[in-house]
Amino acid sequence: MVHLLPEGEAVRGVTSLAGEIFLVREKGRDQVEMYDVITYCLLRRLTVPDLRSVADMASCKHFLCIYISDNDGKCVHRLDVQATAFTRWTTNDQPWGLSVNASQNVLVTCHEVRKIKDFSSNGDLLRELTLPDDVIRPLQAIQTRENEFLVSHGGLYDAVHRVCKISADGRHIVHSHGGKRGSGHGQYNVPAHLALDDNEFVFVADISNRRMRLLSPTLGHVRDIVSSDQLKWRPLRMCLDVQRNRLYVAENEWNNTSGRVVVFSV
């Protein structure tokens, strides 16, 4: 562990962009906090207009913007960092996990309808993919260099909890890791969030087991990179800063009243 950002309201998303760490908290005002990536000093806070229920956060280096998924609002909010301007677009279904692909499009995982929705940066819907029937309650999707999709799935009361690599058309599972919900070597208990490094190794936030796992590009288990002993609460969201070899982990108290971001060297 390298550093701890201050405790406060529950943290629902974390990302990094242009030398700053961004996090979003579950509260009515000043939801977005920005910290210097070197000194970890708080730089400023911003209020997102009409933000109702935060699900995730992602950033885009090309357009210098931050995206925030709003579950209750069924929309994605976009923050243009340079102009400090907010816009938003509808997703029609409840959005959950977010990621940005190599084409600078936003992948929105809609867990209730088992879909990945591909939006342009301005909110134009480019395509929808319906995931295989046994991918129940998908939580996040990331697109690989081969245009396949890494998808984590399994809610608190679902029987199967896995990380899957799915074909580019969204129809077939190519590889998977996990199975029946549990705490064993090959099991997960809500694999809530994913990150991908430059070699396509996969980082997994395993919420209820309070650990961060590392998988190979074919989803073989490599090691646990953060154990429960290194975390105070549940790891809900994360961001991998490849340039600085830092992993920013947003962890929250069990009742989601408090949260913080823990910085690890990886």
Position 83 scores a pLDDT of: 87
Residue 126 lies in a domain: no
pLDDT of residue 255: 86
The tens digit of pLDDT for each residue in 210-221 reads 999 999 999 999
Q: DSSP letter string over 187-247?
A: --S-EEEEEE-TT--EEEEETTTTEEEEE-TT--EEEEEE-GGG-SSEEEEEEEETTTTEE
Residue 97 lies in a domain: no
Mean pLDDT of 231-252: 96
Instruction: Determine the straight-line distance between the first and last CA of the chain, rounded to whole angstroms.
Output: 9
- CATH code where residue 196 lies: 2.40.10
Tell me the percentage of the chain whose pLDDT exceeds 70: 100
- Pick the closest to residue 86 from 48, 59, 121 (CA basis): 48
The reply to whether 200 falls in a domain is yes
Q: Which single residue is written with the structure tokens 């990150």?
A: 195
Per residue in 139-170, pLDDT (tens digit) is 999 999 999 999 999 998 999 999 999 999 99
Type of residue at 36: D
Rounded Cα gap, residues 228 and 235, in angstroms: 10
Torsion on CA atoms 248, 23, 238, 27, rounded to nearest 10: 130
Mean pLDDT of 66-75: 97
Report which residue type is found at 73.
G
Is the model's pLDDT at 263 over the cut of 90?
yes
Q: In what order do the strands lie in the sheet with 42-46?
A: 11-17, 20-25, 32-36, 42-46
55: in domain: no
What pTM does this model have?
A: 0.96
When divided into structural domains, the chain yields a total of 1
- Whole-angstrom distance, CA of residue 5 vs CA of residue 85: 25
Note whether residue 15 is domain-resident.
Answer: no
For residue 198, is it within any domain?
A: yes
Contact 126, 120 (CB under 8 A): yes
Centre a 10 Å sphere on the Cβ of residue 87 and count the other Cβ atoms it contains. 13
pLDDT, residue 219, reads 97
Q: 121-140: string of b/e by CB count within 10 Å (b at 16+)?
A: bebeeeeebebbeebbbbbb
Domain span at residue 155?
A: 131-230
What pLDDT is attached to residue 181? Answer: 95
| Higher per-residue confidence, 156 vs 72 | 72
Distances from the Cα of 257 to the Cα of 72, 128, 252, angstroms: 19, 35, 8
251 in a structural domain: no
- Give the model's pLDDT for residue 180: 96
pLDDT in tens, 112-133: 999 999 999 999 999 999 999 9
- At 142 the pLDDT is 98
Q: Identify whether 89 is part of a domain.
A: no
